Amino acid sequence: MLAVSFAEYGVAPTLGPWPDPECPADGVLIRVAATGVCRSDWHAWLGHDPVPLPHVPGHELAGSVAAVGADVSAWSVGDRVTVPFVCGCGRCEWCRRGDTHVCPDQTQPGFTGPGSFAELVAVSAAETNLVRLPDGLDPVVAASLGCRLATAYRALVTHGRLADGDWLAVHGCGGVGLSAVLIGIALGARVVAVDVSEAAAARARELGASAVVTGTDTAEAVRGLTGGGAHVSVDAVGSPSTAVASVRSLRRRGRHVQVGLLLGADASPPLPMDRVVAEELSVHGSHGMPAHQYPELLALVTDGRLDPALLVGRVIGLDGTGAALAAMSGPSRTVGMTVVRIDDAGSASQTLPAASRPSSLA
């Protein structure tokens, strides 16, 4: 098959032949129809998040089942699926309770093994990890579900307990941040979007955010706009300054949800724990979403309240994937997600225009 891989951290990823994956007995092979390019892939490429080398990145995939392992009875060749970026083992205490996204024996295609910047990807424990896609959902749109939309959904609903009419602050308007903006609006919240980039904040406003903040003391600005602070605030960036600003954006008894990864020297931000105690704030970490929770999110999409297509900024071919990953080292020139479409014939040489994009994203 063809895959985009890199042999060493930071060396340009290239498209070329790669051995077909073996189908696990308890898993499936998925023929990838679309896969998102995510900042987590960039972290893996630069070695911030160590991966086995050489490596095929890619973890936001949608496609169809191409082969089924001997122990799998619930899935068939041709089924249209996506998967969470964290796949549970299906056997441990956490998986049996439904908490597959924190499984200690988890696998993450694109991190613990070869991922979806490829024509085929192997997923183990299929009966724990596969998510059936509704008919008619474009794979380019569905590719965003496994990582960014699912992460934002669980952050807001499970941890934030976001309610109709609440104020939601979203720090960082990249893929997961804009996903949180859209989901917050779908759930009836009023959203304040925070980003240093005027273009990213403007996109959040276009998507329906009630207010945007681009200045320096962002927490103060959020508290002013929301009459005392947000009920729920999300750090979708993953930096000490945005994590602290998110906590400081909250009203009393508010919930901070950390979604952006805090890696290396940034791992332990100095959160104001005095305020956490005095104002009964709560601090949550959120890491993906188990497969069994996807129907709630898919219902928002199929009933028309949530349109993930609005998050797609650019559609490229597999041959443009390495460059798209490398470009994340510089300032962002694309608002919204970059998604790779791989056509049925496996051709990787075509760069497709994004369909029905707002002209501001062209």
Contact residues: Zn ion, CB under 5 A: 38, 40, 60, 88-89, 92, 95, 103, 147
Least distance (Å) between residue 216 CB and Zn ion = 29
Give the C-alpha separation, 92 to 94, whole Å.
Answer: 6
Residues 6+ apart with CB under 8 A from 9: 45, 46, 47, 53
Query: Contact 29/67 with Cβ under 8 angstroms?
Result: yes
Closer by beta carbon to Zn ion, 172 or else 229: 172
Least distance (Å) between residue 125 CB and Zn ion = 8
Closer by beta carbon to Zn ion, 98 or else 295: 98
Residues 6+ apart with CB under 8 A from 261: 40, 43, 49, 238
Least distance (Å) between residue 212 CB and Zn ion = 24
**Which amino acid makes up residue 11?**
V
Least distance (Å) between residue 183 CB and Zn ion = 16
Least distance (Å) between residue 232 CB and Zn ion = 21
Phi and psi at 278, nearest 5°, equal -65, -30
Closer by beta carbon to Zn ion, 95 or else 213: 95
Closer by beta carbon to Zn ion, 88 or else 313: 88
Give the C-alpha separation, 285 to 268, whole Å.
Answer: 13
Other beta carbons less than 10 A from residue 359's beta carbon: 5
- Give me the sign of the Cα torsion angle 135, 207, 294, 315: positive
Give the C-alpha separation, 128 to 291, whole Å.
Answer: 7
C-alpha distance from residue 81 to each of 137, 263, 291 (Å)? 10, 30, 11
Closer by beta carbon to Zn ion, 38 or else 178: 38
Give the C-alpha separation, 278 to 297, whole Å.
Answer: 34
Closer by beta carbon to Zn ion, 40 or else 286: 40
Give the C-alpha separation, 305 to 327, whole Å.
Answer: 33
Closer by beta carbon to Zn ion, 60 or else 235: 60
Closer by beta carbon to Zn ion, 229 or else 288: 288
Give the C-alpha separation, 143 to 114, whole Å.
Answer: 17
Give the C-alpha separation, 246 to 249, whole Å.
Answer: 5
Least distance (Å) between residue 252 CB and Zn ion = 33
